[in-house]
Chains A and B, each alone.
Chain A
């Protein structure tokens, strides 16, 4: 069958799967951002204990492959606790824990790139550490962090494909199902690759436009 024929036949099915992929990516990144902000802030805290907690989390997650984490969450945890997770929930948990560790490093680096004088000036006015962070340091740090966040977004989008191993119906899993039926291995993987390519390129273009827009008075 021609490329065109394959696209016509499987287009809707693959588009839905791409939708699932994006859903998984967005949800995971939202949670990853929360996790990353939390551990990133612990990491820049004055208190040694907080730094240690953040570093333990980051090291543990970075030291374990995503596929192992996904197996652990999807197969391991239910075995030990009796609580069965569906593939979407297990996928979101593993991806956001994974991306959260990298986000924590992005947040730490972003905050540390802001001149100490900004925090000192805010504190000297009587603002608390938290308010100074929220109103002065973080808004500037986020701007610095945007390119790295875009990068993490793309990595996470690609990492969703690993979750095909727990049967989540994202794009790679959908591709495998189609190929099992029609044996068009070469053409199907080419189509899937192009689908990823289009989505990722579009998203990174949008993100870059956004990055330019929020640069203040510079």
Chain B
């Protein structure tokens, strides 16, 4: 880890909603090309943690440094610029309902003047090809299945050519038979060296793809390590308990 390029550095991150403290001091470092899977019971703060990484949630205390920008120090960066470099995929897809598939993908690159319409269209079609949905370019999101929506959402996030991808339970809202197609796309991304932070309940995916697994409970990191260490030989009783329930 020492000689690698650190992409995300989180120190003593705390997040409260009113009186409820959801994150109680998280310390995480993610290096370039790493795939970090966050697992843990519902309500453990996994999604909140992920949403702090692109400042969708306001950070209560501590520091989150992404690409060298300290997200807690509003003066030294423009959050929109930082977000251009961090793709995010949501549990409920959140495709823009007023735009068709290719427009969904083209919107950000064109609006942010990263590409001309022509370039964005070409890039969009490449990405659709990559996720196996070229023939759906002109279709509106309401006509797609859950798995197709999520693959479009991944393509949309990739259109900005981000260095980092965040996945917030990308397969939790899918019918079981559609989980595979989405995981496959994610697996290919990981293979191509994308830095990824994935909140997931897919232990199979974590085992095969993750470079590191973090088990969270009640707003703290209980255990972290390689998939073998955490999933095969967990040391903490809470981890063992959780894994017994889900496997």
Find B98's partner among A121, A125, A216 (CB 8 Å cutoff): A216
Cross-chain contact B92 with A217 (CB below 8 angstroms): no
Cross-chain contact A121 with B160 (CB below 8 angstroms): no
Find A125's partner among B97, B99, B108 (CB 8 Å cutoff): B108
- A127-B108 contact given A120-B90, A218-B142, CB 8 Å threshold: yes
Cross-chain contact A126 with B142 (CB below 8 angstroms): no
Find B160's partner among A118, A125, A135, A136 (CB 8 Å cutoff): A125
Q: What is the CB-to-nearest-CB distance from B186 to chain A, in angstroms, rounded to a whole number?
A: 17
Q: How far is the CA of A115 from the CA of B92 in the complex (A)?
A: 10
Contacts of B83 in A (CB 8 A): 123-126
Contacts of B34 in A (CB 8 A): none
- A217-B142 contact given A123-B56, A125-B107, CB 8 Å threshold: yes
Q: How far is the CA of A123 from the CA of B57 in the complex (A)?
A: 12
Contact with B along A205-218 (1 / 0, CB 8 A): 00000000000111
> Is B139 in the interface zone, CB < 8 Å from A?
yes
Most central of B95, B97, B107, B143 by chain A CB within 10 Å: B97
Cross-chain contact A140 with B97 (CB below 8 angstroms): yes
Cross-chain contact A124 with B54 (CB below 8 angstroms): yes
Find A139's partner among B86, B87, B98 (CB 8 Å cutoff): B98
Contacts of A118 in B (CB 8 A): 94, 96-97
Most central of B84, B90, B111 by chain A CB within 10 Å: B111
Cross-chain contact B111 with A117 (CB below 8 angstroms): no
Contacts of B112 in A (CB 8 A): 125-127
Q: How far is the CA of A127 from the CA of B95 in the complex (A)?
A: 14
Q: How far is the CA of A19 from the CA of B223 in the complex (A)?
A: 75
Cross-chain contact A217 with B94 (CB below 8 angstroms): no
Total interface residues in chain B, CB < 8 Å: 33
Contacts of B97 in A (CB 8 A): 118, 140, 216
Find B90's partner among A121, A216, A217, A218 (CB 8 Å cutoff): A121
Interface of A is mostly: helix
> Is B140 in the interface zone, CB < 8 Å from A?
yes
Cross-chain contact A121 with B142 (CB below 8 angstroms): no
Q: A77-135: which residues lie under 8 A (CB-CB) from chain B? A: 115, 117-118, 120-128, 131, 135
Cross-chain contact A117 with B92 (CB below 8 angstroms): yes
Q: How far is the CA of A126 from the CA of B66 in the complex (A)?
A: 14
Q: What is the CB-to-nearest-CB distance from B139 to chain A, in angstroms, rounded to a whole number?
A: 7
Contact with B along A163-202 (1 / 0, CB 8 A): 0000000000000000000000000000000000000000
Interface residues, chain B, with chain A CB atoms under 8 Å away: 54, 56, 80-88, 90, 92, 94-100, 107-108, 111-112, 139-143, 153, 156-157, 160
Instruction: Given contacts A124-B157, A127-B108, list 13 more A-B pairs with CB under 8 A.
Output: A115-B92, A115-B94, A122-B96, A124-B56, A125-B84, A127-B80, A127-B111, A128-B80, A136-B98, A136-B99, A143-B98, A217-B139, A218-B140
Interface residues, chain A, with chain B CB atoms under 8 Å away: 115, 117-118, 120-128, 131, 135-136, 139-140, 143, 216-218
